[in-house]
Each structure stands twice: as structure tokens, then as C-alpha cells.
Structure 1
Amino acid sequence: MTVNLKRVVNKTLYHDPMNNFELREADSETRFDPLTGQLVRIFPFRKIGFPRFDWTPYVEESRKRFCPFCPDSLEAATPRYPDDFIPGGRLKVGEAVLVPNLHPYEKHTAVVVMTPRHYVPMREITVKLMLDSFNAGLEFLKIAAEKDPGGTGYCSINWNYMPYAGGSLIHPHLQVISGPEPSSYDGQMITAANEYKENNGANFWDDLVKIEREGERYIGKTGAADWLATFAPRALVDVTGVLPGGVSPEDLSQSALENVLEGFKKVVDYYDSVNVPAFNAVLYFAPRAEEGFRIHARIVGRYTIFPVVGSDVSHLQVLHNDPWTLHMPESLAGDLKTRF
């Protein structure tokens, strides 16, 4: 077992203007993703807690504008697939409706309108709402793979909840992607995971869970899914969910999907309790030929540094590809364990 949890503690000295300019030693950490080697930076705050953000004015303003996902607009305002791809042009699972992405950014992209409701507060997100929506995404991925086996396989189901997370509309929706090549980070994970399997004769995520299960970053289980405070976080309150098997959408059982979404629900409830107002979530897949890979989930919180105007994405992410966060994963795990 060779999972390398590498961390470097950096010490900085300065005279503190908040304490009569006495000499102070401040800590930060540089960590390295144990799979890809990606450098991340942590500026540690012991506890996460922001002022409660009130989305009400933005939600009410958005209701005055046109929303293509609301029930009175959906049929006329969203595109349809050709009938030989999806009969009737759209997929419906419960209240969720999957439609083509009007502005595609991969060969196969779809949007899942998760609910007729224009706005769903975090506390009202349910496993059922997520399950119908993710099932619509899974069905689309399977159809795309069947209809276009050479143009699919590297795929994911993604959720940008609210504008701080890049959601272009308030109305809850998922983004589903499948193409012949992986996204940049997905590709790094897949390549590194296959190398790990070749070098160690084991799956990276199995070994990671074995190491973390007895440690301070292990959060708990929801059925088959193990949940970890991510060692090298890409954003605020970064949590990873690992399943015990499977690579492609065809490998994901209904029970395993429910287990993942039960975990998402617990993490989202935590975000709501500490006033993290938005999040990104993802289910990662790969073609079955990528034997070192593993279906896994990830969810990260998003926020604003200053009310309304301050982005949590800076020069470090955009120009240096160095993710950063304010929260120590070990503290996050301690906070979340009671919820699992």
C-alpha cells in the first residue's frame, strides 16, 4: 500500500498589527493530492461559519425574469433530441426532465431540470429529488453509450447549486457530460489510477479508504459508500464519497446511487448549518477499460468572500492551477461525523 499523504507546514513570521505589532508565527499548509500529485494550499481556519446569506431578493428578482425550466416554459423553451436518439425528445424520471444542452460543450451534453420548483432551499433538498434527477442523467449516459460507442465513455453528472457555484439559473438543474476524451482533471485521475494499479496491483480508492478509515479524516458510511474529508481539498469543505466497485454508469446500482445521494444530503445539511450558501457536486465515471478507476463522488462548498461581490476563485486557481481552501480537512471530518 503506497498512498502518499504528503503535507508541508509552512511557517511565516510577521509583526501583527492586531496585537501591538508583536512578532507572530503563522502557519499554512501545502498538500499534494495522493493520486494526481496536484498541489493545493490551505490557509487554516479552525471553524467554518459565515453570516447567513439570504437568497430571497435574488430568487424573487429571478422570478420576474424568464426561466426556461419552469413548468409554463419548459415544453416550448427547451430543445428536444431527435426521436431516433430519445423517443419524444426528452427523458422524464419522476419530476425530473432531461433535455439537450442548448449550448453544448462536449459531444453529448444534457441538462436535467430537477423539479418544477423554481427555487429549492438547501434544507428542502431531498434524496428523492436527487435520485430522480441523477437517474435521468444515468439513463442519458447509457443511451449515449449505446447510440455512439465511439464518442462517449468519459462522463460525469454535475451539479452547480446557486450562482456562487456557477449556476446560471436559480432553478435546480444538473449538467451531464459524455465524450470520447476525459476532462483535464478526470484524465489526470484516470491516468494516475491506472499507473497505481499497474505498480501496486491494487485500486487506489480501496487503499485510500483502508488508510483513512482509522484516521482523523474518516467521516462515516451511508450503506456501501465511505465518506472522507478530502486530504488535499480543491475547495471549501471538500468531501469525497467512495464506492466499493464499478467504473462506468452501467456498473452503478440503484442501491449504490441512493447511498451516494444519502451522503450528499448529509453534507448539504451541514453546509446549510454553517451558512455555506452554494456547492458543486459530481459523480465521476470512466469506460470499463480504465480498470484502475473507480466511480466516486465529490462535493465542495462555494461562498463569497465579501457579500455579493467577492469570488472564492482567485489568481491561484485561474492562473496557477493551485486549488486553495480555508478549512482543515481534519476539522471538517470532526464536524461531519455526528451526521453520519
Structure 2
Amino acid sequence: MIRFDSRKVNARFHNPLEGGKLVNAELEYRRDPLLGHISILSDGLAGKREILFPKTDEEYITRCIKETMSNCFLCDDRWKKTTPRYPDDLISGGRLIKGDCVLFPNLFPVASYHAVIMVGKEHYRRLSAFSPDLVNDALQLAFSFIKRVFEMDQTRKYWTINANYLAPAGASLVHPHFQLLGDEIPSTHHERLLSATKKFYDSNGENFWKALVSTEKDLGLRYVLEKQGCHVLTAFSPMGTNEVLVVWPEIRSFLDFGNAEILIMAEAISMTLGFYEHLGFSTFNFACFSPSLGSNENWGSCIMRIVCRQNMVPDHRTDDYYLQKLLQNEIAIYSPENLASIFKAFVGIDS
């Protein structure tokens, strides 16, 4: 059984912006139904959005593009000489190529298999320019690499597909790229996801992600759409700004993704990034999680979290401070229900 636990509290103070009037600011604490992390909703934060997330500075982006393009090791086919290669016994020629996308090893790995995927030849893309076809080419490389590695080394069974886009999201270069991590040890969050979903199954006799999708679809508050087994919704207790949750409840691991499923994933990513641009955001992170490869457990499903990050402005203020980094709480500018309603309108679905 899925529980959506929340609690409302008030903060009382004399507000100088209202002539010293005593006000009650209502806050809502929400607890994630699987992991228990807390997010905080406040209508008052909407009025602070321009401070928390100032509008993207297009002139600043143009300047960044000009300043970084000439030294970009991915532009103008420089990747052919500047990027590392995998051993030929893993990948013939050392790199995987599809269309304008290229996969190669990260020069500074944080996992046994840490691959980078150059996403297209363009040095910079607006979020709406991550087309389904382009993202599909990048993801095809990702899944091909994962399956190839696992055929050779079945101890590397924990994989994620990830992205940082632009400096406020942690990217060290402007040029669009995705990253793969594969190892015998999962990340902290990955391990928590797997442990919690197994515990839910053991206690309730059902797959958490199937139950979540079914419940959210019935409620209709945060559910956006479904296409061939891929479900898109907003998170009840988001882990990041404007979190969109993509769920494949019937897919047990990355090994089960075929061409059709990969294309639908690409469409979900492209659609969400276009929506973020529609909201006025210019950066993002995502991470896609798989149960351990080869496990094929009934409790496991693949999921993806996509979030906005701080906008591209000079000397940007981080959106990840003590509240998120150390207290591990998150705040929401849009309520998940409002976000879902706007998202559905964006893709032409009646609420």
C-alpha cells in the first residue's frame, strides 16, 4: 500500500513587507513513500523565485559559448585525437559511434566503467534542442556499452545513466554529454532504492513501482502520461527542483531495454527538457537506475529522476545548500500537482 504522508505547519512572524503585520506562513512537509526523504512546500517561495532561480542570462550564455568553443575537446572532430579509448578486446577501435554521438572512457573515472557520451556536434543546445533522435542515438550507445561490458564481466552489475548540463548542474564543459557508471558496488542512492523496493515487496507482496504508478494514475494529481509501459509523473516528495519521475514498472533491468524502449526513453527525456525550457530553466541533471543486471527479481524496476538546476547567470548562486546537502531536505517552487498540471498542458493533455 502506497502512503502519501504530509503535515502542514505554520511559521508566525511580523512581516515588514506587509507593514509589520503578523502573518502565518503555511508550510507542508512531505515524506517520500519509498525512501522517506522530506520535501518542503511553501506558497511563499513562489514569490522568491526570481531570487532563488533568476532568469537565464542569454548574453552570458553567448559569451560562455564563445569563450569555450575554441578549446572544447569535443568540437570540430577534436575528440578523435583528444579522447581516450577502451581496449580493443572490449570495443574494437576503442570508441562507440552512432550518428553524431560518440562513447569513450572518462579520463578521470569514478567507477570501474565510467563512460562519457558526446551528445551531438553542437557545442551548445537549448533544452528544447535535445531532440528524440539525438538522445536516442546517445542512449543506444549507452545500452550497447552496458550490455557489452556485462557480457565480459558480470561482476559489474550496478549501472546508472546520468547527465549534468552546464556549469550550475556540475558540468565541467559546455558541450552536451551523458555519463555511464558501472561497477560491482552501487551508489548510495542506488543502494537505498534497491533495498527499499525489496523491503516493500517482502512486506506487501507487490512491486513498489507498479503500485506507485497504479495509485498515481488513479489519483490523477501528479500523473502525466504513459507510452508503451513508460510512465511519466511528478514526484510527491521531490529530491530536486521540478523533479520528473519516469518509471518502467515491467522492465527488470537495463538488459531488458530493446530499441523501442530506448526510443521511448529518449522521447521522455526530450519532452521533459523541452518542458523545463518552457518553465524558464536552462540546466538539468538526470539519473536512470537499474536493478542489478541479471537479477530479474519481481521487486525490481527501472526508474529515472530528472531535475532542473540553477539557471545560467554570471556568478550563479548554488541551489544546493545546507538544507539539501546536509539536512537532505528539498524545497519545491511549484507544487508537484501544479507542476503536473502545467506539464500536461504543455504536451496537450487535458487535466
The letter for the 2-side match of 1:6 is: D
Residue of 61, 72, 78 corresponding to 1:67: 72
Question: Residues 46 and 331 of structure 1 are in contact (CA less than 8 Å); yes or no, is this contact kept in structure 2?
Answer: no
The letter for the 2-side match of 1:30 is: Y
1:226 alignment partner, SS class: strand
Q: Which runs of 4+ in 1 moved over 6 A?
A: none
Residue of 320, 332, 338 corresponding to 2:339: 332
Pairwise CA distance, 1:214: 2.6
Pairwise CA distance, 1:3: 1.1
1:311 matched to 2:318 = yes
Alignment match, 2:330: 323
Pairwise CA distance, 1:307: 5.2
Alignment match, 1:211: 215
The letter for the 2-side match of 1:138 is: F
Compared CA separation, residues 278 and 237, structure 1 to 2 (3 A): same
Q: What is the percentage of aligned positions where both structures have the same residue? A: 29
Pairwise CA distance, 1:260: 2.2
1:148 matched to 2:147 = no
Comparing 219-228 and 96-105, the one that deviates more: 219-228
Alignment match, 2:25: 26
Question: Residues 139 and 266 of structure 2 are in contact (CA less than 8 Å); yes or no, is this contact kept in structure 1?
Answer: no
1:256 alignment partner, SS class: helix
Matches within 5 A, 1:28-43: 28-43=27-42
Residue of 297, 301, 307 corresponding to 2:308: 301
2:11 alignment partner, SS class: strand
Pairwise CA distance, 1:322: 2.4
Pairwise CA distance, 1:305: 10
d(CA) in 2 for partners of 1:306, 1:168: 16
Comparing 248-257 and 72-81, the one that deviates more: 248-257
Question: Residues 154 and 179 of structure 1 are in contact (CA less than 8 Å); yes or no, is this contact kept in structure 2?
Answer: yes
Residue of 80, 86, 91 corresponding to 2:96: 91
Alignment match, 2:7: 8
The letter for the 2-side match of 1:153 is: K
Residue of 162, 176, 181 corresponding to 1:177: 181
1:336 alignment partner, SS class: helix
Matches within 5 A, 1:252-291: 252-287=257-292, 288-289=294-295, 291=297
Pairwise CA distance, 1:183: 0.6
Alignment match, 1:76: 81
TM-score by length of 1: 0.94
Tell me the C-alpha RMSD between the 2 structures. Answer: 1.8
The letter for the 1-side match of 2:243 is: D
Question: Residues 104 and 116 of structure 2 are in contact (CA less than 8 Å); yes or no, is this contact kept in structure 1?
Answer: yes
d(CA) in 2 for partners of 1:306, 1:14: 32
d(CA) in 2 for partners of 1:58, 1:71: 17
The letter for the 1-side match of 2:223 is: Y
d(CA) in 2 for partners of 1:208, 1:253: 24
d(CA) in 2 for partners of 1:41, 1:189: 21
Pairwise CA distance, 1:283: 1.8
2:108 alignment partner, SS class: coil
d(CA) in 2 for partners of 1:113, 1:187: 28
Residue of 152, 161, 175 corresponding to 1:157: 161
d(CA) in 1 for partners of 2:68, 2:148: 34
2:78 alignment partner, SS class: helix
Structure 2 runs not aligned, ≥5 long: none
Question: Residues 305 and 311 of structure 1 are in contact (CA less than 8 Å); yes or no, is this contact kept in structure 2?
Answer: no
Structure 1 runs not aligned, ≥5 long: none
Matches within 5 A, 1:220-235: 220-235=225-240
Matches within 5 A, 1:103-122: 103-122=108-127
d(CA) in 2 for partners of 1:326, 1:303: 12
Deviations 1:176-224 (A, max 9, x none): 0111111101110100101111111111011001111132111122343
Question: Residues 247 and 302 of structure 2 are in contact (CA less than 8 Å); yes or no, is this contact kept in structure 1?
Answer: yes
TM-score by length of 2: 0.91
d(CA) in 2 for partners of 1:305, 1:102: 26
